[in-house]
Amino acid sequence: MAWRLPVVMLLSPYLASAALAAEPGTAAGVWSFDAAVGYDSFSHAYSLATTDTSETVSETRLALGWEGRSPAGGRTAWRLRLEGSIGTDLWRQGLEADWRRRDARGVDRLRVGARLAGRQYREGTDYASASDQGEGRLEAAVVPWAGTGRECFVTGWTAATRFAIASPLEQDQDEAGLGIGLRSRSLASSAWRVALRHAARTYPDSSVIDRRAWSLDVDWSGSVGVAGLARLYGRSERRLAREPTVRPDAWLHWLDAALEVPAPGVDLVAEAQAERWDYGAQTATWVDSWRAAGFLGLRRGDVLAGQWRLGLAGEVFESAEESESYVQAGARAGFEAYGSGLSGSVVVEHGRRSYGTQATDEALPTWTDFSYWRLWLMADWRVSESLTLSALGNWEPERHTEPLDDATLGFASLRLVWRR
């Protein structure tokens, strides 16, 4: 397994290229290459009863990518991407392929996509779970009917993940699903999609957690007024477990909404996210809950010269286990700019989370109030036409009323990317 997957993945692009070349008029693609050298670091600091209070995993890696796609405008379109990286902890390989056939009206009547990924851990890795793994996914979609502004689609997929050595967190799994839906096909500013899907996920080594899920998705984005933008996404999902006493059946309802409306001198920005979980049978681990989070603020400025964003963020979580319920509020400020050379964004948020009640049962955990900072940074410096230095990072310390509950999450990434 460990050696077979990389070999298959290395050969796959050549096989795919050969297949594409066999079809007249599709082999002359547009090809590009990219290479990157970078450093990633993840850290999680927390107090513990023993002396160890933090965990940091860092990795340096060199990545290479090769991508080709068909020229625009053809009846047959394809895309192929191969990538691989050598890191101090992990070797990774990835392959993505996509092929589609369009009719005379430009409708993608048939689309087939495949994805393969492999990871091999090196000896002495800092990762806690270090089982080599391979993933594959194959999906297909057909459009049996297309009207002027909308089209019906049917999609199906199958996927598998395999680990060389199984562990509670590294379990082989298989998935298969079917979906049907309707979506807009206008190039106008408004777009929408409605889809019904059914998926089955199985775990060969732990069949008690097998499950099936029915889901209904609605997605819409469009203009509001003369220059406003809005986006709405809703999803309802019914999960049916094979063994409900191990993992209960559940209903999930999920909503994302965003609105940007111009006002005199500024843009009004509002974002909201809500979710509700209802379990068929509540257990000590799985309890009913709902959560609502949002941001309301103002944006001002020209994104090329610099754009400010200021506002209030809040979150409410209500759980059937009352001691987990909390209210959180914070102030958020951000700045972003997308000039020709240096571009990026920085966001800072400071706030506090308060838990309403404490557990009355000794056999339940307790939670303590805390104040937090969140810093999120993204920056790109275009050194030359083909060379970019990229940085990503976040730092989130929590300071609790009980100091031993303090925790800090952190992530930093620095990469030098060359594209041709």
Partner 1 sequence: MDGRRSGNRGKAGAFGAALALALALLAGVGTPAPAQAQGGEELRAYLDRTDELLDWAAGQVSASGSERARGILNQATQLQRRSRDLLARQRPLEAFSLARRARDAMWHAVRLSREAAGLEERIRVRSERFADQHAQLLERAREGGAGRAGELLERAREQAQRAAERAVQGDLPLAWKLLEQADDLLRLAARQLADGAGPERVAHELERSRSLVDEAGQQLEGGAAEAEALAMLADARDALARADAAAGTDPGQALQLAGLARRLAQRALASAGTGSGAEAVQRLLERFDARAAELAPRLRDGEPGPAQRAFERAREEREASARALADGRVERALRHARSAHDLLEQAARGLR
Kindly identify the residues of this chain, within the stretch 373-392, that bind partner 1 according to CB under 8 A: 376, 378, 380, 388, 390, 392
Angle (nearest 5°) at CA 48 between 43 and 54 = 20
- Cβ neighbors of 176 (< 8 A, separation 6 or more) are 156, 157, 158, 159, 199, 200
Q: Which two tokens stand for residue 268?
A: 């009004």
Range 114-133, binding partner 1 (CB under 8 A): 119, 127-129, 133
What is the per-residue binding string for partner 1 in 187-226, x denoting contact by CB under 8 A? xxxx--------------------------x-x---x-xx
235 binds partner 1 (CB under 8 A): yes
Site for partner 1 in 67-106 (CB under 8 A): 69, 72-73, 79, 90, 104-106
User: Tokens for 208?
Assistant: 């008690």
Segment interacting with partner 1, rule: CB under 8 A, options 1-9, 14-22, 243-251, 325-333 = 243-251
DSSP assignments along 169-196, one per residue: TB--EEEEEEEEEEEE---SS-EEEEEE
The residue from 3, 123, 362, 384 that contacts partner 1 (CB under 8 A) is 362
The answer to whether 339 and 310 are in contact (CB under 8 A) is no
In eight-state DSSP terms, residue 368 is -
Q: Name which position in 55, 58, 281, 420 contacts partner 1 (CB under 8 A).
A: 55
Residues 154, 60: Cα–Cα separation, whole Å:
42
Contact segment (CB under 8 A) with partner 1 among 1-9, 15-23, 41-49, 308-316 equals: 41-49
The answer to whether 91 and 9 are in contact (CB under 8 A) is no
Q: Which CB sits closer to partner 1, 18 or 161?
A: 161
Q: According to the binding rule CB under 8 A, does residue 339 interact with partner 1?
A: yes
162 binds partner 1 (CB under 8 A): no
End-to-end CA distance of the chain: 34
Interaction between residue 22 and partner 1 (CB under 8 A): no
Q: Which of 22, 245, 360, 384 binds partner 1 (CB under 8 A)?
A: 360
* Sole residue written with tokens 């297309």: 146
> Which lies closer to partner 1 via its Cβ, residue 207 or residue 358?
358
Does 275 interact with partner 1 (rule: CB under 8 A)? Answer: yes
Distance of alpha carbon 394 from its chain centroid, rounded? 16
Give the DSSP H/E element, type plus range, for residue 339.
none
Q: Could you tell me which stretch among 1-9, 10-18, 20-28, 355-363 binds partner 1 (CB under 8 A)? A: 355-363
Ranges within 283-322 binding partner 1 (CB under 8 A): 283-286, 289, 302-304
Q: Which is nearer to partner 1, 18 or 74 (CB)?
A: 74
> What string of DSSP letters covers 83-118?
EEEEESSEEEEEEEEEEEEE-TTS-EEEEEEEEEEE
Tokens (6 digits) for 279: 């379990």
Candidate residues 12, 19, 35, 46; the one interacting with partner 1 per rule CB under 8 A: 46
